[in-house]
Amino acid sequence: MLLLVGLALRIATFGDPNLHVDEAWYFLVGHEMHHGAIPYVTIWDRKPVGLFLLYYLFAGISTSVLAYQIPALLFASATAWVIARIAARLTGAQGAVLAGASYLLMLGPLEGFGGQTPVFYNLLIAGAAWLVLQSLDALDAGRPGWRMVAAMALAGTALTFKQTTMFEAAFLGLFAAWRLWRSPAPRRLTCLWVALWIAVGAAPTLACAAWYSGAGYWSEYWQAMYYSNVRKSSTQPLELVLNISRFVLATYPLWGLYLLSLLASEEKNKKTIATRFCTLWIASSMCGIAIIPNFYVHYAIPIVSPFLLYISLIFDRRDIGFFCFTFVLLFTMVLFNPANRLDRKSSIESTHAMVRDIAANRTRGGLFVFDGPSYVYAIAEERPPGRLVFPYHFSQGDERNVSHIDTAAETRRILRNKPEFVMLAPFDITYPSNVETRQMVETYVFSRCTLLDTQLMYDIYETTLIGLWGKCKDGPGYIDY
């Protein structure tokens, strides 16, 4: 049933290569890895390598975006199923099923309608939490067993998808360690178990680091994983206010229903170990938001699972349970219309119109996507022009020199190579803008190129006018600025 709910909510988005800027980028990296690209070294980003390895597998299936959109549906529905199974420990069948369905509904307003990172790693964290709860009796008896090892392996794998999962992983390990410490097990044996859990949880990240170190790319890996996150300038005040506003608007049903559950649940339900577990899980997932306080809407996806587990207490009530679920359903329909296939068809058509224009006018080749969907590179069968590829890494002021590559110098290098096509918006679409790089690109296209086409590019939440410049003159050397 949850699989059908997930399909109904997502089927209108299938096939759209510009569904969301992030996942189109991840899929492009996976595609480029099949051509020998190495994340952080020859194609730069700051996401952990586990995410790119997953998209590498998807890209090995097909260049069609369905290769990741269908697995994203399966991951989301599987996560909803795990939530329902965990909720069954707290409440009845009605509350459990409605909690699982609500997870799929809430993904829409939180930009989880496609292949955002938490859509995949939430399954790993939820699976680890389920295994920890299944291990409570064994932990209390001093015999943790294989479930705890598997839980730490899942949590450790999630850490290779996004660094902020360390808080949820740490919570799960500490919670289990506390239960084991209170058991009759000898202290020495308890310490050995905890050491094993730490080793298993850290193993995936250590393996990635060891590979990069052994291959001679330690500095690039360290810079991407840690230094770049510290070096990136904080979000601008105006943008931060807008982000917080959107964040609150997209998550207030979770807070409201959680508060209602606290007030309306029976006292005996509030004092169970499972509800206390959920409260601590909520707190740990919120730490992942607090440590990078950009308040992008999709950053809230990890908090949905623990919130809905507690909310399942109110969903199970015969008097107001279905009313509360209907509220979530209507909220989703207002902020995310799952039946809006028209915009998705327009997005597909406009993206492929750009690709057709490139194919019709190509002589020597070379594409530079300064603005627009990055996956056009793959669809148009054009290789990215350098190590910086994601458009925002060029055009956004906050991303200037965040990587180990000088942004302005890389832009000059790309333009010196005289790309035949450039995708550029007629006005700044990023805030704050990288004025220096934009001026370089505008000077290049205005002096050398012809405007071939303009298309409205339909991201799920916004429509942006993008121009395609081509027939760029292969004149004398590029003028430095």
- The answer on 394 and 300 residing in a single domain is no
Task: Flag whether 216 is in a domain.
Answer: yes
For the cut 70, the answer to whether the pLDDT of residue 55 exceeds it is: yes
Mean pLDDT of 450-461: 91
CA 221 to centroid of chain Cα atoms: 20
- Which of residues 335, 351, 371 is at a domain's end? 335
Task: Flag whether 481 is in a domain.
Answer: no
**How far is residue 461's CA from residue 108's CA, in Å, rounded to a whole number?**
11
Mean pLDDT of 159-167: 96
Task: Flag whether 283 is in a domain.
Answer: yes
Task: Flag whether 475 is in a domain.
Answer: no
Total domain count for the chain? 2
- The answer on 240 and 201 residing in a single domain is yes
Task: Flag whether 479 is in a domain.
Answer: no
Task: Flag whether 476 is in a domain.
Answer: no
- The answer on 456 and 390 residing in a single domain is yes
For the cut 90, the answer to whether the pLDDT of residue 362 exceeds it is: yes
pLDDT digits (tens, 9 = 90+) for 272-320: 888 899 999 999 999 999 988 889 999 999 999 999 999 999 999 999 9
- Which of residues 319, 335, 351 is at a domain's end? 335
- The answer on 280 and 249 residing in a single domain is yes
Are the CB atoms for 175 and 277 separated by under 8 Å? yes
Residues of the domain holding 261: 2-335
pLDDT digits (tens, 9 = 90+) for 230-268: 777 566 788 888 999 999 999 999 999 999 998 887 666
Are the CB atoms for 199 and 155 separated by under 8 Å? no
**How far is residue 436's CA from residue 439's CA, in Å, rounded to a whole number?**
5
What rounded mean pLDDT belongs to the chain? 93
Q: Output the pLDDT for position 420.
A: 95
- The answer on 102 and 128 residing in a single domain is yes
Q: Output the pLDDT for position 445.
A: 96
Closest CA to 347 of 247, 452, 466, 221: 466
> CB neighbours (10 Å) of residue 199?
13
- The answer on 283 and 393 residing in a single domain is no
Are the CB atoms for 172 and 128 separated by under 8 Å? yes
Mean pLDDT of 177-197: 96
**How far is residue 380's CA from residue 375's CA, in Å, rounded to a whole number?**
9
- The answer on 72 and 189 residing in a single domain is yes
Are the CB atoms for 103 and 305 separated by under 8 Å? yes
Q: Output the pLDDT for position 255.
A: 96
Task: Give percent of the chain with pLDDT exceeding 90.
Answer: 85
Place of tokens 């121009």: 467
- The answer on 370 and 328 residing in a single domain is no
Q: How confident is the model at residue 392 (pLDDT cuts 50, 70, 90)?
A: very high
What residue type is 159 in one-letter code? L
- The answer on 381 and 324 residing in a single domain is no
- The answer on 374 and 319 residing in a single domain is no
Mean pLDDT of 144-164: 97
- The answer on 352 and 239 residing in a single domain is no
**How far is residue 263's CA from residue 258's CA, in Å, rounded to a whole number?**
9
For the cut 60, the answer to whether the pLDDT of residue 480 exceeds it is: no
Are the CB atoms for 396 and 378 separated by under 8 Å? no
- Which of residues 302, 320, 335 is at a domain's end? 335
Four-CA torsion 139, 143, 149, 154, nearest 10 degrees: -30
Q: Output the pLDDT for position 481.
A: 42
- The answer on 176 and 275 residing in a single domain is yes
Mean pLDDT of 38-52: 97
